[in-house]
């Protein structure tokens, strides 16, 4: 275990723990938009900035900084607070309509940005370029269906060449991890439309009720989990009904 202090309070965490997790374990909540426990840390939003006061003094993004023995961390140091507020001002300037960003900013005492507003054509922008959608598609799903495009003020996320992404399986993981609701996925009949990626995938009907509800289970799932292949193809409602019936049948025949 690694021993350190957070705001003067001692705490011990396993070696390799991100400093952000140590801070949370100490009972301190830091704002963050780009961090997800199931993905490699990225340090994009810079909202989790803290001051490492000892053995060396520096501002760090706590999500990408591994704990070290004897660290003395201050989350409310003036330098750290200023850095977090500055990051929030930049985010407000890019996504002024995002309720999530406005709420986080208000929590840090930021109600306006000194960096102006986006151009009219981007006034409703919700994507703050956290990279979570790109990373979950690459690291967790293994599809690599989307990526960052462009540089500077033109940087954005999209499918290659902004056309139908054949690598996309329509799982919706990108929308699930998006912290600001910037990804629009819509089911129409037997199709799932991923509007941000200009991609449409065919939906699979539930064999029990016939409702189109999800993409066809991948060959990988069928190969690795053949005993549950039937379950992967059923909608959640039918799965719950099936589980309830099995539970009732087991309870009925249970020996007394």
Cβ atoms 98, 88 nearer than 8 A = no
Q: Tell me the pLDDT tens digit for each residue of 9-56.
A: 999 999 999 999 999 999 999 999 999 989 999 999 999 999 999 888
* Domains delineated in the chain: 1-126 (3.10.20.740), 131-204 (3.30.70), 206-256 (no CATH)
In angstroms, how far is the first alpha carbon of the chain from the final one?
A: 49
Q: How far is CA 173 from the centre of its chain?
A: 9
SS3 per residue for 220-238: HHHHHCHHHHHHHCCCHHH
Query: For a pLDDT cut of 70, what percent of the chain falls above it?
Result: 91
Residues lower than pLDDT 70 in the chain: 217-232, 251-256
Number of neighbours of residue 131 by Cβ within 10 angstroms: 18
Left (φ > 0), alpha (ψ -120 to 50) or beta: where does 150 sit?
left
Q: Tell me the pLDDT tens digit for each residue of 83-93.
A: 999 999 999 99
Give the pLDDT confidence score for residue 95 in this predicted structure: 95
Side-chain-facing half-sphere of 59: CA atoms under 13 Å: 14
Give the pLDDT confidence score for residue 8 in this predicted structure: 92
């Amino acid at each position: 275990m690694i021993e350190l202090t957070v705001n003067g309070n001692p705490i011990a965490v396993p070696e390799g723990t991100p400093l952000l997790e140590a801070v949370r374990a100490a009972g301190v909540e830091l704002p963050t938009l780009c961090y997800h426990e199931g993905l490699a840390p990225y340090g994009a939003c810079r909202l989790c900035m803290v001051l490492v006061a000892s053995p060396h003094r520096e501002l760090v993004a706590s999500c990408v900084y591994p704990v070290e023995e004897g660290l003395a961390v201050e989350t409310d140091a003036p330098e750290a607070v200023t850095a977090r507020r500055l990051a929030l001002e930049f985010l407000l300037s890019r996504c002024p309509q995002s309720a999530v960003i406005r709420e986080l900013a208000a929590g840090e005492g930021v109600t306006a940005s000194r960096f102006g507003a986006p151009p009219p054509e981007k006034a409703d922008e919700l994507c703050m370029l956290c990279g979570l959608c790109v990373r979950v598609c690459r690291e967790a799903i293994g599809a690599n269906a989307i990526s960052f495009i462009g540089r500077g003020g033109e940087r954005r996320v999209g499918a290659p060449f902004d056309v139908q992404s054949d690598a996309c399986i329509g799982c919706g993981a990108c929308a699930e991890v998006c912290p600001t609701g910037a990804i629009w996925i819509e089911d129409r009949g037997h199709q799932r439309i991923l509007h941000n990626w200009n991609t449409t995938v065919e939906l699979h009907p539930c064999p029990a009720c016939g409702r189109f509800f999800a993409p066809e289970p991948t060959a990988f799932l069928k190969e690795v989990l053949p005993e549950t292949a039937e379950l992967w193809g059923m909608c959640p409602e039918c799965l719950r009904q099936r589980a309830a019936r099995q539970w009732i049948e087991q309870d009925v025949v249970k020996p007394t």
